[in-house]
Amino acid sequence: MAEGSVLSADQRQAAPSVQPPHRVRRRAGMRLDRVVSPLSAIGLAFGVLLVASGYAGSRNGSGWAGAVYWLGQAVLYGAPAIALLRSKGISRGQGATLAVLIATATYLINEAYSPGRLLFLDEFEHVRTAEAILRTHHLFTTNISLLVSPQYPGLEIVTTALASIAHISIDLAATIVVGVLHLLTALGIYLLGIEVTNRPRWAALGVLLYATEPHYQFFDSYFIYEVMALPFLVATLVAAVKMVKADTVRGSVVWGCVATGTIAVTVISHHLTSYVMWVMLACLEVGLLVVKRRRAVSWRLPTLLGIAGTLIAVWDFHVAYYTVQYIRTNLASLVLPASDKVHRGSSLTPHLSPGTLLIYASVLITAALVAGGMWWLYNLGYVRTETMGRGLRIGIGIAALGLFPAIGARLLFAGGPELWGRAATYVLIPGSLSAAACLIGAPLAFKRYRQGWLARAALAQRWSWLAVGLVVVVALGGIAGGWPPSYARMPGPYRAEAWERSVDAHQLDLAQWARTYLGSNYGVASDFITASVLGTIGGQANAGNTSELLTSPRWTAADRALALKKSIDLVVVDLRLTKDLPLDGSYFSSTPSSTGAHPLAIQGLLKYNSLAGASRIYSDGTMIVFDITGTIPAHRETTPPRGHAS
């Protein structure tokens, strides 16, 4: 029996005296493998401690912080890679433990950045939805900061349930829920690997390789609705595979019902993930069509595809009617031609820094491993004659092919890096299993060429260490090219328009004040970060495209007309923008523009001090809020009534 392989349910039921593999006594030579899990845990924890030390040093402005951070990341990925690639084999339990440990360690890194506090702007949009649910005790409220958010309430339902029963804040409930979902995703990928390959080491390595995807440590661990759908996408694949492999109709019906449940949760949680789920199920079906299979099972996946398609159509077009508009708008902003906009960090940059080289190396190695692993998925060892499993593995391989268009998108489109990161979240679910196959299967291929030049170079003997190095390079490159961007990767003092580095106590306390004393839905003109924060957790309305109100040196008729057109009630000023250049390229949007070349002029920000009819209603020495409704009497009469202060 191959390493760590498991008995089928029928085998276990027929022979109850046969011990499941995880209870089999191990051979003496493999006793060291019993400490794989605790030793990996020590390595992972040490990596987390190094990263946390790097964060602490960065907050204090220490020069060594960056080096310690990268060392910690290398240890974090190197330790389990060594455990998996240098061991002869692991048990199923050890593999599951490693999967959970990897997820735990990476989530702790996210929390170490800002313990117990949400900082990402997208998270605030979903906090606003959650707050509305807690306030109204009902779903499908209106969230003007992200219209589509209340229509996919899966994440907010679970979070508000926890927050309301436990009487804790949304931030704390979100931290707990997202942490659990993060662990669930990792364990789900492990189980998918077990179902498809029957090898714990392979499956655990797949989890580790998945953890190298650019968004894994941060973006896919944020309080955003995709994070709820992701583990249920994986759960759907697991249940679908088990449904196909079930030996009895009853078993297939049970797993079909489970898959239907997980499909439903995915559909109500996130639009894009549900589409990817349907495509991956279709890939599995294509894989099964390639091999000969019994007619008795040929109806299973098509039925599931029909159910999934129906649920998606009903939800996305009947309940979540903002979906089409939302996807169209966001897709357009990401695929604009590269000649029109050059985003900071675009892969078309001619300047190849060490970080850029690391990113490219990571992408190329990943592509090579995934491509190489497909051969192993097709020709998996002793189970070559097992058609069902082979068909499922072919399906996984087909799904993994999505990696290559994603790489193409990274190279071609203006929003390439973000597109790649978003796509990698999905395509590396099957891709990581394929890449793991290549890393584990390569030595077997080398042995066939013992007399060849590769063997002479003793590469096969050194392969495990080389493989560890490849995993670490892929991981570090993923971090370098992922989220947060380089200027926000380490925590520290405020920096202008630097995403997580721009959300500090001034922003958060201002948002809380606005919600408490102003009520809701006042039109706000400000820089991108401040307007986003106020437009989400501040409960106000982010007018957008109002840069002239903060850049023109004097109040003009054009400013007045703009304020009237955009229903601006408040102009919010951050005096730090007169000193700090925007790290994201612009003060007023997430894409670069000419307004980012120089700090803002203070005259433009403080012209409202002397403007007749304007009031300065808030100041903390850094942030100032001007109420300009008194400058436009007609505006006050025509704007709709605002929500009352809490």
Partner 1 sequence: MTLTWPRCVAAALVMLAGLCLLVVALTRIAAVAVPVAFLLIVVVPGFAIVNAVDPWNIHIHLDERIFWIVAGSLGTTAVSGLALNVTGGLTPLRWAACASVITAAAGLVAWTRSGGAGVRRADLLAVARGLRGRYRWVGLWAVAAALAISAVALSIYSSSTSGTERFVQLFLVPIPASRGSYATQARLGLTNREGSRTTFLVRVTVGSRKSTQERVTLQSGATWSRVLSRTKRQAISAQVLLAKQPDRIQASVRLGIGR
Assign residue 198 a region: left if phi > 0, alpha if psi is -120 to 50, beta otherwise?
left
Q: Give me the least distance between CB of 83 and partner 1, in Å please.
A: 13
Contact call for residues 291 and 389 (beta carbons, < 8 A): no
Helical (H) or strand (E) element with 573: strand 570-574
Phi, psi of 166, rounded to the nearest 5 degrees: -85, -10
CB-based contacts of 92, cutoff 8 Å, min separation 6: 4, 6, 21, 22, 194, 200
Contact call for residues 227 and 426 (beta carbons, < 8 A): no
In the complex with partner 1, the residue whose CB is nearer, 153 or 415, is 153
CA angle 248, 238, 363 (to 5 degrees): 145
Beta pairing partners, 574: 623
Scanning 449-458, the segments in alpha helix (DSSP H) are: 453-456
Pairwise CA distance, residues 97 & 103, whole Å: 10
Q: Give me the least distance between CB of 119 and partner 1, in Å please.
A: 11
Pairwise CA distance, residues 396 & 400, whole Å: 6
Q: Give the position of tokens 């309080």.
A: 223
Q: Give me the least distance between CB of 232 and partner 1, in Å please.
A: 7
Q: Give me the least distance between CB of 482 and partner 1, in Å please.
A: 20
Q: Give me the least distance between CB of 162 and partner 1, in Å please.
A: 5
Percent of residues in the chain assigned helix, strand, coil, to nearest 5? 70, 5, 30
In the complex with partner 1, the residue whose CB is nearer, 188 or 402, is 188
In the complex with partner 1, the residue whose CB is nearer, 152 or 588, is 152
In the complex with partner 1, the residue whose CB is nearer, 16 or 337, is 16
DSSP 8-class letter at 616: E
Nearest to 294 by CA among 258, 260, 246: 246
Q: Give the position of tokens 């960065």.
A: 58
Pairwise CA distance, residues 417 & 634, whole Å: 45
In the complex with partner 1, the residue whose CB is nearer, 295 or 634, is 634
Q: Give me the least distance between CB of 306 and partner 1, in Å please.
A: 20
Q: Give me the least distance between CB of 570 and partner 1, in Å please.
A: 10
Cα dihedral angle (338, 343, 348, 350), rounded to 10 degrees?
130
Q: Give me the least distance between CB of 142 and partner 1, in Å please.
A: 15
In the complex with partner 1, the residue whose CB is nearer, 258 or 412, is 258
CA angle 423, 428, 433 (to 5 degrees): 165
In the complex with partner 1, the residue whose CB is nearer, 269 or 347, is 269
- 3-state class of 623 per DSSP? strand
DSSP assignments along 32-66, one per residue: GGGGHHHHHHHHHHHHHHHHHHHHHHHHTT-TTHH
| Other CB atoms within 10 A of residue 26 CB | 12
In the complex with partner 1, the residue whose CB is nearer, 158 or 460, is 158
In the complex with partner 1, the residue whose CB is nearer, 36 or 406, is 36
Q: Give me the least distance between CB of 618 and partner 1, in Å please.
A: 5
Contact call for residues 61 and 451 (beta carbons, < 8 A): no
In the complex with partner 1, the residue whose CB is nearer, 137 or 351, is 137
Hey, CA dihedral for 114, 115, 120, 124, is it positive or negative? negative
Q: Give me the least distance between CB of 627 and partner 1, in Å please.
A: 5
In the complex with partner 1, the residue whose CB is nearer, 150 or 477, is 150
Contact call for residues 590 and 542 (beta carbons, < 8 A): no
Pairwise CA distance, residues 604 & 428, whole Å: 48
Q: Give me the least distance between CB of 498 and partner 1, in Å please.
A: 14
Pairwise CA distance, residues 565 & 586, whole Å: 23
Burial 590-615 (b: 16+ CB within 10 A, else e): bbbeebbeeebeeebbbbbeebeebe
In the complex with partner 1, the residue whose CB is nearer, 414 or 624, is 624
In the complex with partner 1, the residue whose CB is nearer, 23 or 295, is 23
Q: Give me the least distance between CB of 260 and partner 1, in Å please.
A: 11
In the complex with partner 1, the residue whose CB is nearer, 153 or 478, is 153
Q: Give me the least distance between CB of 642 and partner 1, in Å please.
A: 5
Q: Give me the least distance between CB of 112 and partner 1, in Å please.
A: 4
